[in-house]
Structure 1
């Protein structure tokens, strides 16, 4: 029996990888072409659903890495992020600028969480 569980697995990646009590999510992106705020909300909605499926929630996030296509969007992204993170449960976080997979993608979030 494998101690690594993978869900929503394709040729290139799995959306969820669980090892012991640690949950790793693939990078989540929002609706291409939408605003930074909408793309961020889309990402967070996907993260909520994937964490629930894996047996966790946003109070159990250990770390989040955020890539923005343009750091000028930092405040707009943070407005959505700050409303979503439960008080007292802010994870370790990094945010940087990167060229994303497509030019109409503005934000990508990568989460590691603990299982409940």
Structure 2
């Protein structure tokens, strides 16, 4: 049986769940009230930190689902994303509009990655 491990476990969620060689991250958000670009940068920083802790990095991201409070901000978010995603390692990605946990959140990243 493949082991499931969890890190940064709270009552509602774990920030990292690993099953075999696959890493699942909880949704990562930026600082409430920041611009879309700044929230995107913060999401990326948090994803990088959690992936490093789990034994991975941005080149090993398999999928990223991005929720945005307003698709009118799509280009602003993509400018930060495009500057960050490692060349030749773009993951499968989906992006949609949704109400986030609070109106101050503008973007949320949900990441699945491989260890290694």
**Structure 1 residue matching 2:58: 3-state secondary structure:** coil
Which residue does 2:75 correspond to in 1? 75
Which residue does 1:96 correspond to in 2? 96
In structure 2, C-alpha distance between the alignment counterparts of 1:113 and 1:47, rounded to whole Å? 10
Which residue does 1:53 correspond to in 2? 53
Which residue does 2:17 correspond to in 1? 17
In structure 2, C-alpha distance between the alignment counterparts of 1:9 and 1:35, rounded to whole Å? 29
1:42-77 per-position Cα deviation (integer Å, ceiling 9, x unaligned): 000000000000000000000000000000000000
Using the TM superposition, give the Cα deviation of residue 2 of structure 1 relative to its aligned residue in structure 2, in angstroms.
7.0
Counting matched residue pairs gives 116
In structure 1, C-alpha distance between the alignment counterparts of 2:100 and 2:114, rounded to whole Å? 27
Gaps of 5+ in 2: none
Per the normalisation by structure 1, the TM-score is 0.98
**Structure 2 residue matching 1:95: 3-state secondary structure:** strand
Gaps of 5+ in 1: none
Which residue does 1:31 correspond to in 2? 31
Q: CA RMSD in A?
A: 1.0
**Structure 2 residue matching 1:59: 3-state secondary structure:** helix
